[in-house]
Amino acid sequence: MVVEDDAAVLETVQLMLGDRYDIIPATNGEEAVRKYKMFKPEVVLMDVMMPVMDGVEATKEIKKIDPQAKIIGLTAYARKKGKELLEAGALEVIEKPFTRKQLIEVIEKYLK
Amino acid sequence: MESKLIERVLENWFKEVSSDFPPELRDDIRKRIKGYITAILSGEDPESVVEKVDEEFIERMIRESGSRPEDVIRRMELLAKELSKHKEFEVVAENFAKFVLAFLKKMLRVYERLLSEEAESRRRVERVLRVLGRTNQAITRIGDEKELLKEVCRIIVEEGGYAYVWVGYAEEDKSVRVVATAGKGDYAHAIKVTWDYGDTGQGPTGMAIRTGKAYVVRDIEKDGSFEVWKEEALKRGFRSSVSLPLRVNGKVTGALNIYASEKDAFDEEELSLLEELADSISYAIYSLRSRKKREELEKLYELTVENTGTAILVIESERIIFANKKAEELSGFSRNELMGKPFTILLPEKDRNEILKIHKLRLAKPELAPNEYEIKYADRHGRVGYAIVTASVIPGTKRVVVSLIDITQRKDLEKKLRESEERYKAIFEKSPLGIVLSSVDMTILDCNDAVLKMVGMRKEDVIGRKWTELNIFDPDKLAELMREFYRGLSGEFKEMDLEIKVDGNVRYLRVFPVLLKKEGIPYAFVNILEDVTDKKIAETQLKDALERIQILRSIDLGIIEGKNIRDLLSDLVKALKQKVGCDILAIRVLGDNGFTVSYPEIGESMVKSVDAEKEVVVNLLEKDSLSEFEVELLKAGMVRYAIIPLVARGDKLGVILAASRESKEKDVEFLRMIAGQLAIAVHEALLFEAKRKAYEQIEQNIEQFAILVDHIRNPLAAAQGFVEIYVDNEEAKTKIKEQLDRIVELVEQLEKGWVKSEAISEYLRRERENRGDGIEQT
């Protein structure tokens, strides 16, 4: 599942990974929590700064539903928000901008 | 026989016998005999004639003429002899003989009855006499009233053979109290007897007590006065009773009540003896009581003389004939040693002649001799003491009774007291502390020089006047002072400071009051006064300084805590108003963001014009024309105000306004002292507030910056993705990526700057927090 409020970034990620994985998109934290309950995705790529519910809050909620959930942070605000995301339960954080290779490597690491 | 003949016969016969009868009986006897003879002669049955003779007549004849049967026989013989002289008598001789026999028989019967009655009467009299005798013996033997009455009752029953007896005393409440009883059955305690006019007071006992006369009930069963007690009495077999009054000192104090088993048991003679018995008992009671009283009185006299605390001597012919215990103690001689000795042995030798002269003068001309005087006495060891002597001649004798009150100890005490007084007087007069003695109505009785110095008055202006009349107290504070004073009377008086005015200058006196009491009742105050004016001024200054520091510290703390300057000054005006004692206190801060805080709150319009380059103190009542602001103040009831500018580092930051309803000068001095420091504090507070706002702006900027960078990275990420996906030309891909990398590099540089800014902001925040913590801990 890719959680991102910026439509261009969401589209980019879908284009980068769409040929390898089934992608569930979500545009804010609340939608992400709802969709996680429905689809139980194997990996979640989570943006931090989003409307309605931010990435830190959504990570905490998902971890409450499934403590085993594998969440990877995507952030431009890595130094401060990245830290908060890790504290909320994310496995690691990738800084924007990122390459396809970077994304695949990290996803594969947690799919094993 | 003819009547005349009978008359003649009787005439002759009566001549012989008339002297046997008392004159008042003679006619009756003669008439009766004539009647009897006539009846017999006329043929009437002699026995029926005798039948008609009433026994009362026979009884009278026996009693009043002392006739015995042999006398009657003799008289009848004489009559028969007289009758026999006449022939007519022969026919009735036999009948006459029958009459004489029948008459004699009847007379004998009466005679025997009378004899028996007399014997019974004598028996009764004898028993009463026996009772009287035994009672008199008991009276001489027994010294206790109750015991005596008990014994008398016993004697009356046991010796007198009466059924029951009790003695009752008449009580004040009209009841009759049983004091002694004898005989069977506890009758006296089973009945209720009074001596009032109620039912229980109408019986023999009540009557005897009320009337003072003996009251006899001849037949208890039938006597109406006994109705109340009849049942109880008959149950015990009592048939008659007598109640005899007991008199003590002429007053009836009770009754002796005797009960007999027979009806009509008390004849006159017996009654008279019983009255005598009651009198004896009465007299015995009186004697016993008198003796007891006398003994008590004697004991009292003895106790008085022995315990009066005064030595008492009786002197006759210059010699001691009586001395009490105290005289023994005073002289050191025993009573036996004193007896018969000249009284002068109790005097120092050199005084003896003079006292002897007074003694002789007293006997010769008592009115010229002093009755009371002070002497020196000497005891057996030659020790000399002092005594007050009171002497007087016992009326009708040559004896002098002398009492001596030993005043040696008092004299010593007086001496010590005099010495002590002198010492205290010196302390009183020389003391640097003021000492005032005042009565409970606040009148000044005495005071020392120190007091006069404190109040700036002369002694004659102070003594005899009340504290409140000295015009040294503030009239407004007098009421409180009086309250304190009255609290003091109930023992709550504590040390207090008094403010007085001497020659227009305020002085402070610390008063330590001591309430003097006699037998628990306050009668005076001793007030120790200390002039604490200098101390008080120093204290006030210190207090002001402390309050100033406290107020300034509260401003500092407020600043450090980051308190809003408006809130800070709001708290401050309240504290200042209380301290200064004015009615309105306001602080106006000038400048673009200027504002006013006041307590109580006053309209902004009123203070907007408050300003002054220099300090001003204005009494509105003394001003000819008023500004708009002053009119507003006056409308609010203020008559006086002061404005003090707040100037720090040459900048005028604001003003303090203090206004009051009274024209009296308030503590503006305090405001004056605090104004400089307050201005600096306000300056700093304003500065601090500006800094705080700047920090807030920086923090806001940093936050904005971070968001901006984030927003740049998103399109960068998208652009990089799109290049990777859509651009196939490797050269173009490389070039676009190079440009994107440059942008990323720039963003990272910006980020580094942001990190630095954030670190600075963090540092400033920490420093601000640390400063606050540090001050709070001091």
Q: What is the mean pLDDT of each run of 10 residues along chain A (112 residues)?
A: 92 92 94 94 91 91 94 76 87 89 92 78
Residues B559 and B684 sit within 8 Å (Cβ to Cβ): yes
Q: Which of B578, B583, B609, B580 is nearest to B596 (CA)?
A: B609
Q: Which residues of A touch B743 (CB under 8 A)?
A: none
For the question of an ipTM over 0.85, the answer is no
Which one has a higher pLDDT value, B232 or A76?
Answer: B232
- Topology adopted by domain B431-531: Beta-Lactamase (3.30.450)
Percent of chain B with pLDDT over 70: 95
DSSP B457: -
CB distance A76–B740 less than 8 Å?
A: no
Task: Domain B143-294: give its CATH code.
Answer: 3.30.450.40
The pLDDT assigned to B217 comes to 94
Answer yes or no: is pLDDT of B286 > 60: yes
The pLDDT assigned to B30 comes to 84
For chain A, list residues whose CB is within 8 angstroms of any CB belonging to chain B: 6, 8-9, 11-13, 15-16, 49, 74-77, 79-80, 95-100
The pLDDT assigned to B1 comes to 52
Mean pLDDT of B705-731: 85
Distance CA A40, CA B223 (A): 132
The pLDDT assigned to B362 comes to 92
The pLDDT assigned to A77 comes to 60
Distance CA B347, CA B139 (A): 52
Do B143-294 and B538-687 have matching folds? yes
CB distance A76–B717 less than 8 Å?
A: yes
Is the peptide bond prior to B715 cis by the omega test (within 30 degrees of 0)? no
In which band, very low, low, confident or very high, does the pLDDT at B778 lie, cut at 50, 70 and 90?
very low
CB distance A99–B744 less than 8 Å?
A: no
Answer yes or no: is pLDDT of B24 > 90: no
- For residue A75, list its beta bridge partners: A95
Least confident piece of the model among A24-28, B4-8, B314-318, B345-349: B4-8
Distance CA A62, CA A42 (A): 13
Mean pLDDT of B427-442: 87
Note down the domain range covering A82: 2-111
The length of chain B in residues reads 778
Mean pLDDT of B461-466: 90
Domain limits, chain B: 3-120, 143-294, 308-412, 431-531, 538-687, 695-777
Nearest-neighbour CA in chain A from B740: distance (Å): 10
The pLDDT assigned to B205 comes to 94
Angle between helices B668-726 and B565-580 (to 10 degrees): 170
Angle between helices A100-111 and B668-726 (to 10 degrees): 90
Q: In 3-state terms, what secondary structure has residue B589?
A: strand
Distance CA B598, CA B584 (A): 7
CB-CB neighbours of B555 under 10 Å: 23
Distance CA A57, CA A50 (A): 10
Angle B452-B456-B458 (CA atoms, 0-180°, nearest 5)? 55
Which one has a higher pLDDT value, B133 or B565?
Answer: B133
The pLDDT assigned to A90 comes to 93
Answer yes or no: is pLDDT of B663 > 70: no
CB distance B724–A75 less than 8 Å?
A: no
In which band, very low, low, confident or very high, does the pLDDT at B401 lie, cut at 50, 70 and 90?
very high
Q: Which of B699, B704, B714, B724 to mutate to test the interface with A (most CBs of A within 10 A)?
A: B714
Minimum CA–CA partner of A102 in chain B: B721
Least confident piece of the model among B10-19, B20-29, B749-758: B749-758
Considering only CA atoms, give the Rg of chain A: 12
The pLDDT assigned to B627 comes to 84
The pLDDT assigned to A78 comes to 54
CB distance A12–B709 less than 8 Å?
A: no
pLDDT tens by residue, B256-284? 999 999 988 888 888 888 999 999 999 99
Minimum CA–CA partner of A5 in chain B: B714
Answer yes or no: is pLDDT of B355 > 90: yes
Most confident of B105-119, B329-343, B685-699: B329-343
Answer yes or no: is pLDDT of B413 > 50: yes
Which tokens hold the place of B696?
Answer: 């807030």
Which one has a higher pLDDT value, B219 or B776?
Answer: B219
Mean pLDDT of B378-383: 91
CB distance B721–A97 less than 8 Å?
A: yes
Q: Which residues of B touch A74 (CB under 8 A)?
A: 717
Answer yes or no: is pLDDT of B485 > 60: yes
CB-CB neighbours of B74 under 10 Å: 15
Q: In 3-state terms, what secondary structure has residue B774?
A: helix
Half-sphere exposure of A75 (CA within 13 A, CB side): 24
A vs B: CB pairs below 8 A: 63
Minimum CA–CA partner of B741 in chain A: A97
Q: In 3-state terms, what secondary structure has residue A27?
A: coil
| Torsion on CA atoms B292, B295, B299, B301, rounded to nearest 10 | 110
> Looking at residue A91, which CATH number applies to its domain?
3.40.50.2300
Q: How many domains does chain A have?
A: 1
CB distance A99–B715 less than 8 Å?
A: no
The pLDDT assigned to B776 comes to 37
Chain Cα centroid distance, residue B352: 53
Nearest-neighbour CA in chain B from A38: distance (Å): 28
Domain B538-687 CATH (choose: 3.90.1170.20, 3.90.1150.10, 1.20.120.920, 3.30.450.40)? 3.30.450.40
B752 touches chain A (CB under 8 A): no
Q: Which helix (H) or strand (E) holds B643?
A: strand B640-648
Residues 6 or more apart whose Cβ sits within 8 Å of residue B571: B554, B558
CB distance B721–A77 less than 8 Å?
A: no
**What are the b/e assignments for B202-213, b being 16+ CB within 10 Å?**
bbbbbbbbbeee
In which band, very low, low, confident or very high, does the pLDDT at B770 lie, cut at 50, 70 and 90?
low
CB-CB neighbours of B773 under 10 Å: 10
Minimum CA–CA partner of B740 in chain A: A97
How much is the mean pLDDT over chain B? 86
Which one has a higher pLDDT value, B103 or B766?
Answer: B103
**May I ask the CATH class of domain B308-412?**
alpha beta
Q: Which of A11, A17, A50, A77 to mutate to test the interface with B (most CBs of B within 10 A)?
A: A77
Q: Which residues of A touch B722 (CB under 8 A)?
A: 8, 12, 15
Is the peptide bond prior to B23 cis by the omega test (within 30 degrees of 0)? no
Answer yes or no: is pLDDT of B3 > 80: no
CB distance B725–A16 less than 8 Å?
A: yes
Out of B707, B714, B724, name the one closest to residue A96 (CB). B714
Decide the pairing of beta strands B311-316 and B399-406.
Answer: antiparallel
pLDDT tens by residue, B158-173? 988 899 999 999 999 9
